[in-house]
Structure 1
Amino acid sequence: MLNNAPAQVIHFAYYAELRAAISLLSSHGIRISNGDNSYLERSGASKVSSWRTMRTHTVVWKLWEAWAKTPAAEALLLDQLKILPSVTIGDLKASVGRVAANPTLTRWALDLSMGSEHDARNKASYETPTARTPLQPMRAADFEFVRDLWALAEPNGHGLRFEQELVRYLVNAELNDDTVVAGEAARTAWLRRLIDDLEKSTGTPRATLESFFDGESSSSPIFQLAFSPDLNPSNMVARAFFLLRLATLMPNGALTSYPATPAKEWLKDWLEHVGLFDPTDGERPEDKWMDFEHLSQLPVPPMPLPAQLTATPSRSTDTHLLARADAMLAWSTSL
């Protein structure tokens, strides 16, 4: 996106989604391996099934659709994502109708279905659309989109800002739905009841909840892009980012449960190998956020873009950091 290459954006966003889905499925013992798929039983025995020879793209979507309906999927989205130290997304389920795992997970993985989304990916990957359509200049909105993603990557001590913004989006969508809440007085009463319920069920101080659900706080615009069925680059990158966030939860949970696992050292070695962690400087992997925390506040460079993204040494450095979404692994896992 920072190179103003929209077809490549669609291609890589699709494969980011595919890899995130494969990662989540593998954490449940499902192995996707190019026509030689299998799964592990609880006993540890490897088994094959009717979908053994299905091609990767087809089987991932079918398995994802089935997995998104399971209690395990609901627990991942609702119980592991915290918006406050004592409040999970699941704590809002009884009060907020839009807090539902299956439609959310299915919506975010839309691009993996074998419909128009798949066709869009194929066209971006294997055709040359720029030979038939005029080239478009990069817009300031393209830069702003990438920049604003980094606000969602901010750690807050119990997770990322992503889950807090997700809840704000869902709550605001409910409040602005006239079929659910009609009129300003009704909206105020609905929000008051939500805070009452959360205070009782979680023990969170009312002042903390009122501050979080401040009526003047707006959710990130990126959620609207992710939930929209549009197939623009920003829509697909938003969905890929969200699936990648979910994909970090399963290994994070395993690392917390098994703190002595050698997987921690492997991940640290990987972060060192890709230039995101230096074990000799005495810093912890989670400290890496300090190199990235300024990105969400960057001003839009002057036109023309993308040329101005590398016009000065400082902009070149920031542009490099803006493109390193893999750095999120350093502070979103228990290393």
Structure 2
Amino acid sequence: MSFDKLLEADQRHIDGASRSEITKYFSDEFTRNGGSEWLSTNNRYIVDAAEKFKIDFDANPKTVDCRGLISYISASAPTHLIDGWSFYSRAVEALLRGDSGAAIHLAYYTELRAAMSILASEGIGVFKNKHPIITSDKSYEVVNKVIGWDKDSGAYKRNPDTAGTHRIVWPLLAYWSKTHKASDLINSIIRPEGIELSNWLNATKSHTSGLAISEYLFSKWGIDLANLHEDHQNRNIVSYQPSELRITKDPPIDDVLNFVCETWSFLQPSPGGRFLDLEKALLKHAITVSSRSVIDKILIKRELNLSNDITDSYCKFFDAKKIPLILKLSISGSDKSSPSYPMEILARSFLLLFIATSSVKSHFSAAGATEFEFFWKRFLSTRLCYGKAETTEEALILWEDISEIVDATQAWSKENKLATTLGNWRKDNLLGANQLPGFELAAIWGLAA
């Protein structure tokens, strides 16, 4: 299938997008406001940004508030991300209730928000039909067209219509993923033992560059954003047509519970907003993608300056044949009627959320922004029913509660393999049914820790 692409002129705009302007917002304006709100209520674009930007851009002369626009796009990076984790939570809740249609619908919008957050972190705004790109000179460019595949002529042609939100996201993300900006981000995110991905790839004599790894990961994890526009009829069927008239086979209950439990297992938080087990899994995935089957222990120890014990543990980890379910599902391409498809799109949306979370967190770290109580305390008491926590350390300790619920769910699954349903699981595990979908915790751990 041939997907939409950006015009060459717009590719240059993406090349010139300024990530540093986003960091600057969090070090300057956000900090000056006391870290008490994501965006000043005086910002012109805080409500209905797309429509107001269109009015300002179309005016003669243009009346765009450039500083306000930069602030809005900057603040949209964490807020799209937070909404994405909430959509993911509701998607998992739907999956645990046997509602695959709602899970797919919400997982798609999770992917959309995760992609919008990643792009906003890079200075790329996704609006309605005029999409502003922040440049390093505190100005902007606009992208609003794409090149689409014309089946009749068998060639790409410029689409005369403006590209809306759903249509523009994949061309933006796909082109950006091929740039060194994307590989630099992935390189800094996947860094077990504090060692960046590129150094691991060198030490394992991997055959694939970091740039190729970045492009590969986004091509797999963002495929729904590409497919679901091209195949918009299927997306509309899931979103707008009665699900009871197209009942599909549900995934096995063991698969559902294992998927949710494994997802949580990758989210054990660490200070600095990192998820170390997920970083390790992605490192191994990258080495596997590089077709590196034999790992030289001596080379790893020498190149990365690791102790014997740590080197041994990583070599055993790399040699283990088991592939995490979430990574296996993320690169699967099952038909949308397949029982596994809801978990496949959830796996991809989860991994895009991880990238988005790490990207936003890197802005906060570079800017020295640390005050986010206005966000996470409200989420703990309302979205997650955990009551009060006075420090981020107390929020991190909530992992112990989740870990106990995961262990109890896995034990129940082993003991109840026959003649059981998700309804039975919820009946026997009321606490788990309430807390397991609460993936908003990952937003708190990833952004505020």
Task: Sort the TM-score into its range (normalised by shorter chain).
Answer: 0.7 to 0.9
CA drift at 1:117: 5.9
Residue 86 of structure 2: aligned partner: none
Report matched runs for 1:1-335 at 5 Å.
1-51=95-145, 53-83=162-192, 85-94=193-202, 95-97=205-207, 100-114=213-227, 118-133=232-247, 136=250, 139-156=253-270, 159-172=275-288, 190-192=294-296, 195-214=297-316, 215-216=319-320, 218-230=322-334, 231=336, 232-260=341-369, 264-272=372-380, 273-275=382-384, 278-280=388-390, 283-297=393-407, 298-301=410-413, 302=416, 303-312=419-428, 315-335=429-449
Change (3 A) 1:291 1:217: farther
Residue 50 of structure 2: aligned partner: none
What is the alpha-carbon root mean square deviation over aligned residues? 2.7
CA drift at 1:120: 3.5
Residues 81 and 163 of structure 1 are in contact (CA less than 8 Å); yes or no, is this contact kept in structure 2? yes
Runs of 5+ unmatched residues, structure 1: 175-179, 182-186
CA drift at 1:293: 2.0
Change (3 A) 1:136 1:54: closer
CA–CA separation in structure 2 for the residues paired with 1:219 and 1:136:
23
Change (3 A) 1:96 1:295: farther
CA drift at 1:13: 0.8
The residue type paired with residue 207 of structure 2 is G
CA drift at 1:159: 3.1
Deviations 1:256-303 (A, max 9, x none): 1223465x2343344345345724488533222222123443324434
Greater alpha carbon shift after TM alignment, 155-164 vs 315-324: 155-164
Change (3 A) 1:44 1:113: same
TM-score normalised by structure 1 residue count: 0.84
The residue type paired with residue 80 of structure 1 is I
CA–CA separation in structure 1 for the residues paired with 2:320 and 2:227:
40
CA drift at 1:168: 2.7
Residues 248 and 333 of structure 1 are in contact (CA less than 8 Å); yes or no, is this contact kept in structure 2? yes
The residue type paired with residue 121 of structure 2 is S
**DSSP 3-state at the match of 1:113:** helix
CA drift at 1:80: 1.9
Residue 177 of structure 1: aligned partner: none
CA–CA separation in structure 2 for the residues paired with 1:20 and 1:108:
11
Residues 61 and 112 of structure 1 are in contact (CA less than 8 Å); yes or no, is this contact kept in structure 2? yes
CA drift at 1:45: 2.0
CA–CA separation in structure 2 for the residues paired with 1:25 and 1:86:
25
Change (3 A) 1:75 1:228: same
Deviations 1:175-205 (A, max 9, x none): xxxxx57xxxxx5xx212xx33432332122
TM-score normalised by structure 2 residue count: 0.64
**DSSP 3-state at the match of 1:213:** helix
Q: What percent of counterpart residues are identical?
A: 21
Deviations 1:132-179 (A, max 9, x none): 4466485321222112211111235653311211223344566xxxxx
Greater alpha carbon shift after TM alignment, 47-56 vs 10-19: 47-56
Runs of 5+ unmatched residues, structure 2: 1-94, 147-161
CA drift at 1:229: 1.9
Higher-Rg member (1/2)? 2
**DSSP 3-state at the match of 1:43:** coil
**DSSP 3-state at the match of 1:311:** helix
**DSSP 3-state at the match of 1:233:** helix
CA–CA separation in structure 1 for the residues paired with 2:207 and 2:350:
24
Residue 184 of structure 1: aligned partner: none
